[in-house]
Structure 1
Amino acid sequence: MDKLGLFPIIALLRVLSVLPYSFVARFGSALGTTLYRLPSRRKHIVLVNLRLCFPTKSALEHEQLGRAHFQHVVRSYLERGIQWFGSAKSIDRIVQIESEIDLDDKNAPPTIFMGFHFVGIEVGCMRYSTHLPVASLYTRMSNAPMCDLARRQRGRFGAEMIERATSARKIVGLLRSGKPVMLAADMDQGVDNSVFVPFFGVEACTLTSISRLAKLGRARVVPFVTEVLPDFRGYKLTIFKPLSDYPSSSETVDARRMNEFLETQILRFPEQYYWVHRRFKHRPVGMAGVY
């Protein structure tokens, strides 16, 4: 897709940004239900992930959970309109914040906000950036014009957008200067700088970047999760207490602890986790692929 090809997408998102939030959310949910009925690669990935992570659930339960997930994913795509082109006030209205730490503490230590890929992660990060300084890491997309658009719109309230491949020295410098960094490390990005640790009992290729950066930046690690509220009432960004004794002396132990925390949150609203991602793309030596 070239820049010209982005025009229809931008036009659609701008229209969606001015429509009532509840209408867009309901329409996205209905569209997700329709798309789930069609055979697709993404549907296959979702069901494989659900079977691996919830082996005791029945085939019907996997289907029901997969359908609910498609509703949330497609809805989140349409809600990019308000996220990318709506005002700060419009985002503030639909995202409430509940924090177990003092976000206005001027003497706070270097902080890494550890995020997870629930469908609401993007709007949660943007909600934080409407009021407080932050840097946020992103992974470059293969489509350059779309990547540039996403980076520009996600950072439009002042968030400093940093490509994941950036030197750790720059990130450590930001941490030590007092600017918190938002980083999600729960996707399979390849075996480099990763370890295999269990995720719902399945060995998953898990990044160790948060542990390493926390050590280098002498930073506390604060988990956060953005959940979709029922009845189309928006979102809640929950910021938890810092993880105790994290980082430890072992990156493998830290990666396992991250996955354990994530599991507790997924069990609260499993339909909202990003199951369309190939979480088990890379497998330990000798283990067959699953997709």
Structure 2
Amino acid sequence: MPAKPRSRSGRLAAALTYGLFRATLAVFSLLPFRRRVAAFGWLMAHGLGRLAGYRARIMANLALVHPDMPLADRRALATQALDTMGRMVMENFCPAEFGRSLEGTPLEGPGLADLAEASAQGRPVLFVSAHFGNHEAPRHLLSQRGHRIGGIYRPFTNPRFDADYRRTIASLGGAVFPQGREGTVGFSRYLREGGLGILFYDVRDPRGEDIPFMGRPALTATSAAKLALKYDAALIPWFGIRKPDGHGFRCVLEAEIPHTDPTTMTRDLHRRLEARIAETPEQWFWVHRRWKPRKAQARQLR
């Protein structure tokens, strides 16, 4: 279950934050969907992103990974990345309209054949994705084709945001498993019974392995690969790649990751994401603290 603010002031702050967010959505809902998405992207890029500290974090990450990139280019990329993030937030908090906007969008890529083969064999399928473009776009298209995709998610500390997010996922028909021991057990059972699931691998895991990502060691969970090996699940990456118009998508199911060992498979996942970022770097969520070291390592660096 999501952690609730302990103090009265914490509960009040959570309620006020949620109320302000819902009021903002209500105002934006007066706009047609496409204009609403574009407007929230602009607001995130030119206001909210700076106030929330996201722009500073993106600039720090870009300086770490691309130290030779000119400052003007880093600033431009930060603005573009925040615009992408804002568009994604609005799309995902309006799931019905987002789903309708995707109707007619083709699913493409060799992973489609891998999915069909695994389904014919009764094997579970574990999709893996990253916070890139809009990672929910392929789920919408698969849902429209009759697939139900469950997943583990990290509960929000604000219980109101958490309830909203759970409703958004559930609206697509997939089972929802909160992060933690109970959720992991439930998700594992779901896969063992032949279900279709989704996990994300591009956020920092303090208990993960140091696996290179864009040339820097990054603490990364290998749980997706471990689950695929344990339950003989097809491990298929997907990407919802935003088109240059800011609204359309290419939804790609990549070829299944070969079963070897967890570290090798996760390195392959990193290479897949690195290739996508190299093509359109503004579509990845650079706001993640992706290269933050372990606490012990951080103390040694001081």
Q: Which moved more, 1:124-133 or 1:226-235?
A: 124-133
Kept after mapping to 1: 8 A contact 2:152/2:187: no
1:183 aligns with 2:199: yes
Counterpart residue number, 1:75 = 87
- Distance change (3 Å), C-alpha of 1:179 and 1:123: same
Describe how 1:1-291 pairs up with structure 2 within 5 A: 1-2=13-14, 6-7=18-19, 9-10=21-22, 12-13=24-25, 16=28, 19-35=31-47, 38=50, 41-83=53-95, 85-86=96-97, 88=99, 90-93=100-103, 96-100=106-110, 101-102=112-113, 103=115, 106-108=119-121, 109-130=123-144, 131-167=146-182, 168-190=184-206, 192=207, 194-244=208-258, 246=259, 248-249=260-261, 251-283=262-294, 285-286=296-297
RMSD: 2.8
SS of 1:107's equivalent in the other structure is helix
Identity, % of aligned positions? 22
Distance 1:185 1:38 in 2: 26
Question: What secondary structure does 2:286 align onto?
Answer: coil
Where 1:230 maps in the other structure, the secondary structure is coil
The runs of at least 4 consecutive aligned structure 1 residues that moved more than 6 Å come to none
SS in 2 for 1:121: coil
Aligned position for 2:7: none
TM-score calculated relative to the size of structure 1:
0.85
Q: CA offsets per residue over residues 24-81 of structure 1, 9 Å max, x none? A: 2321233234228956521111011112222332222111111111111122223334
How many pairs does the alignment contain? Answer: 283
| Offset, 1:94 | 7.9
TM-score (norm 2): 0.82
Distance 1:225 1:289 in 2: 37
Provide the C-alpha distance between the structure 1 equivalents of 2:247 and 2:300, rounded to a whole number of angstroms.
Answer: 40
- List gaps (5 residues or longer) in structure 2: 1-12
Cα deviation code 1:105-153 (max 9, x no counterpart): 6414221101111140134333433431111221111112211111112
Q: Amino acid of the residue matched to residue 134 of structure 2?
A: G
Compared CA separation, residues 166 and 99, structure 1 to 2 (3 A): farther
- Decide whether the 8 Å contact of 2:151 with 2:187 is kept in 1: no
